[in-house]
């Protein structure tokens, strides 16, 4: 029944042009166009609410790219949205761009971006004890979830100064020269036989077992 639209049409006739265009596009679910009208009306609070409601963060950021204060507010809203959507790496990048390093280092950690996480933790700045605990947490994740022994070794050496642990992890990553070097330059030559030589022996044992398995499979096929 066309009569049901009469109140809406009468309302439109009373509105200024830009507000009328917004109401029409919003009613027709043309959200991106409606957002532009709100921007043209300089109704920033409404823009924020509308962008959040319709997830139009990128569109809003584009509209305010030359207005620093509004751009900062919209970027923060977008960063929070990305975090809520479990898009932790992009959220971390947004937080970092705003200098919100406390949120950035935590988000980078969840995203398994250890280098960026350590940098932002330093920029907070965390206390020495907090930094050490954070580095230990990163090492744990790298070992248990990523099996990234090389990165874990770098954190042990550079951030935790635990050179024997770093050398052990370098060996697990088959970086025996790095293991030897990190021990030698830190005056721990006496630990080389214990750590590096045993690491080499273990690697050789694994290689021998692998070759034996390959030979057994070939014999079965022949």
Query: How far, in Å, CA of 127 to CA of 196, rounded?
Result: 33
pLDDT for the residue 108: 99
Does the pLDDT at position 99 exceed 90? yes
- Domain contains 72: no
220 band by pLDDT with thresholds 50, 70 and 90: low
Backbone angles phi and psi of 86, in degrees to 5: 65, 20
pLDDT for the residue 182: 97
Residue 104: name the closest of 115, 118, 93 by CA: 93
- Domain contains 167: yes
Q: Angle at CA 125, nearest 5°, toward 121 and 130?
A: 65
pLDDT in tens, 59-69: 999 999 999 99
* Average of per-residue pLDDT across 91-96: 99
- Domain contains 166: yes
- Domain contains 148: yes
- Domain contains 52: no
Show Cβ contacts of residue 184 under 8 Å, excluding neighbours closer than 6 positions: 192
Backbone angles phi and psi of 124, in degrees to 5: -55, -55
pLDDT in tens, 16-51: 899 989 988 998 999 999 999 999 999 999 999 999
- Domain contains 181: yes
Query: How far, in Å, CA of 67 to CA of 34, rounded?
Result: 20
User: Based on the structure, what is the number of domains in the chain?
Assistant: 1
- Domain contains 192: yes
CB atoms within 10 A of CB 164: 16
Is 166 in contact with 156 (CB distance < 8 Å)?
yes
* Average of per-residue pLDDT across 112-133: 98
- Domain contains 219: yes
Does the pLDDT at position 127 exceed 80? yes
Q: What is the pTM of this model?
A: 0.84
Domain that holds residue 164: 141-222
Q: Which helix (H) or strand (E) holds 82?
A: helix 68-84
Chain mean pLDDT for the chain? 91
Query: How far, in Å, CA of 123 to CA of 100, rounded?
Result: 9
pLDDT in tens, 163-214: 999 999 999 999 999 999 999 999 999 999 999 988 686 765 555 554 456 5
Is 45 in contact with 70 (CB distance < 8 Å)?
no
């Amino acid at each position: 029944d066309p009569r049901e639209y009469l109140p809406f049409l009468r309302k439109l006739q009373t509105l200024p042009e830009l507000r009328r265009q917004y109401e029409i596009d919003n009613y027709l679910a043309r959200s991106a166009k409606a957002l532009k009208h709100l921007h043209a009306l300089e109704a920033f609070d409404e823009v924020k609410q509308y962008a959040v409601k319709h997830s139009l963060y990128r569109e809003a950021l584009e509209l305010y790219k030359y207005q620093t204060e509004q751009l900062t507010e919209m970027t923060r809203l977008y960063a929070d949205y990305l975090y809520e959507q479990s898009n932790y790496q992009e959220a971390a990048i947004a937080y970092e761009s705003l200098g919100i390093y406390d949120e950035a280092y935590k988000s980078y950690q969840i995203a398994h971006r250890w280098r960026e996480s350590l940098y932002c933790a330093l920029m907070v700045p965390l206390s020495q004890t907090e930094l050490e605990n954070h580095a230990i947490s990163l090492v744990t994740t790298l070992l248990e979830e990523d099996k990234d022994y090389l990165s874990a070794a770098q954190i042990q050496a550079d951030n935790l100064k635990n050179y024997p642990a770093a050398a052990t992890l370098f060996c697990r990553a088959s970086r025996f020269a790095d293991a030897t070097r990190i021990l030698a330059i830190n005056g721990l030559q006496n630990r080389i036989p214990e750590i590096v030589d045993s690491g080499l022996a273990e690697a050789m044992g694994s290689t021998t077992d692998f070759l034996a398995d390959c030979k057994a499979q070939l014999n079965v096929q022949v």
